[in-house]
Amino acid sequence: MNLMDVINIECTLDSGQVFLWYKRGGSYYIICSENVVRIEPSYEQLVHESKPRYVSVERLFRLDDDTHVINHSIGDKDALIGEAVKRFKGLRIMRQDPFQCLISFICATNTRIVRVRHMLEGICKRFGNKVEFDGLTFHTFPSPKALQDASINDLVDCGLGYRARFVKYAVHSYLDMDVKSLLDGSYDEVRDILLSIDGVGNKVADCIMLFSLEKLEAFPIDVWIWRVIAKYYRHLVGMDMDEARKLSPNMYRRASSIMRGYFGRYAGYAQQYLYCYARAYMYDDDTNTYNK
């Protein structure tokens, strides 16, 4: 069995779900909370090492998910998702730390991925720990407690702009939360809790639930997924050409709910495949670019 059929590291890391990772000399280094994980892709097994503590890559890359079952469950729905599953075979949804995920996606509002990385690197450099690994220097992601004394100005200095106040409040909200209830709660319960955090809206809540809180049915809709829905699933969602132009909060709820019902309990995987498909093949009519 070829490991690449089960997991494609580069495709997974480059699919917009995680921001703090680096490719150096054929190896991948991923910042997971206060640890750095090194992955060396091989055809037989995932060779890995982490510092300063052990991190389970089986957990991190959700190797407990049965991709055969999942890919059939979503891939058999229609030709488009079938094609996306085929082309991006090995794409996994990662199991991130909820706190890092929360802060990451608050930073990821209304900006580009490269800038999100700059913001998070700033936070790591200022509030995280320095870790030497293979002669390389990394700064790990701070714990909630390490970030709780950060001022809005500190965060602005990290390049967060107006997001600084949202992040500051989110740190304190998170410290007041029972993380276990976030993991155990239903999709609707957890979404409502997350939406109570200032700076967390529908899309960010869905990302946090899918990428860190075990809610594989969550179907985040960003601009790329919205283009996919507008072009291929417009009738399924039941909207006319005019409604497809802009994504209102109400339409987000409706579209996300319908896509969740359509793809089922693994809708989040479908979303991730469609995101990769859109970014690779769909043309942006508004800006006349592929926007890669």
Q: Kindly tell me which of 37 and 210 has the beta carbon lying closer to DNA.
A: 210
Q: Kindly tell me which of 9 and 131 has the beta carbon lying closer to DNA.
A: 9
Nearest distance from C-beta of residue 152 to DNA, angstroms? 9
Q: Kindly tell me which of 121 and 143 has the beta carbon lying closer to DNA.
A: 121
Please, are residues 268 and 93 in contact by the beta-carbon 8 Å criterion?
yes
Report residue 221 as tokens.
Answer: 């809709």
Nearest distance from C-beta of residue 208 to DNA, angstroms? 9
What are φ and ψ of residue 166, in 5° steps? -65, -45
Nearest distance from C-beta of residue 101 to DNA, angstroms? 12
Nearest distance from C-beta of residue 64 to DNA, angstroms? 23
Nearest distance from C-beta of residue 49 to DNA, angstroms? 26
Strand locations in the chain (E): 21-24, 27-32, 35-40, 47-51, 130-133, 136-139
What are φ and ψ of residue 214, in 5° steps? 65, 20
Report residue 1 as tokens.
Answer: 């069995």
**Does the N-terminal peptide bond of residue 52 adopt cis geometry, omega within 30 degrees of 0?**
yes
Q: Kindly tell me which of 116 and 131 has the beta carbon lying closer to DNA.
A: 116
Q: Kindly tell me which of 45 and 287 has the beta carbon lying closer to DNA.
A: 287
Rg (CA), the chain: 19
Instruction: Provide the binding-site residues for DNA, judged by CB under 7 A.
Output: 15-17, 108-115, 118, 156, 159, 161-162, 164, 166, 195, 197-205, 207, 220, 222-224, 248-250, 252, 275, 284, 286-289, 291
